Structure 1
Amino acid sequence: MSSTQPEIIIYATKTCPFCTMAKSLLDGKGLTYDVIDVGTDRSMWQELQEKTGRNTVPQVFVGEQHIGGFDDLSAADRSGELDQILAK
């Protein structure tokens, strides 16, 4: 993997257990990421839904690529796809 990782953004809420699991997965890989807390901000939820077509959190982006929610992130990690995306 290259020494500079792509930007990783997680749209999340403070109380979401799947958001916590997504952050833990990324932490376990030694990755850094930014969290955008959509919380109770209706405009952020709207932006998230327009960007992803989904209205659930977490939603994970690596660079411009939408990975999806925790299940998608976990599956991408298990299959090796996440490492390939990070290596680009």
Structure 2
Amino acid sequence: MSTAKVEIYTKMFCGYCTRAKSLLDAKGVDYTEFDITMGGPDKREMLERKPDARTVPQIFINDQAIGGSDDLARLEREGKLDALLGL
């Protein structure tokens, strides 16, 4: 069971979002998802946390900006993701 706080900002119909969530699901990681399809306060919060964010998903682990789906997959390939997740 992961001890990390994982948050992911997503939009509907986003294949990259689905891919990132699938990786987290496969690892049994609980995460909080913020759907920013329609903008709103969650999108503003995401941009406050990571001002240069222009795409989704935006993934945060223990309040550290990880990046998007490709960044998450790279961490997994490099064998660094489990440590970040506390697995």
TM-score, with structure 2 as normaliser:
0.86
Residue 46 of structure 2: aligned partner = 48
What is the distance in 2 between the residues matched to 1:16 and 1:4?
25
Q: How does 1:9-88 map to 2 (within 5 A)?
A: 9-52=7-50, 53-87=52-86
What is the distance in 1 between the residues matched to 2:6 and 2:18?
15
TM-score, with structure 1 as normaliser:
0.85
What is the distance in 2 between the residues matched to 1:8 and 1:85?
10
Which aligned segments of 4 or more residues in structure 1 are displaced greater than 4 angstroms? none
Answer whether contact 1:59 1:68 (CA < 8 A) is retained: yes
What is the distance in 2 between the residues matched to 1:46 and 1:79?
32
Aligned residues between the structures: 86
Matched residue SS, 2:56: coil
What is the distance in 2 between the residues matched to 1:20 and 1:75?
16
Q: Please, which runs of 5 or more residues in structure 1 have no aligned partner?
A: none
Q: Deviations over 1:34-69 (max 9, x none)?
A: 100011114433332232121110001111111110
Q: Please, which runs of 5 or more residues in structure 2 have no aligned partner?
A: none
What is the distance in 2 between the residues matched to 1:4 and 1:23?
14
Q: 1:4 to 1:84 in 2, by over 3 A?
A: closer
Identity of aligned residues (%): 40
Q: Which has the higher contact order (CA 8 A, sep 6+)?
A: 2
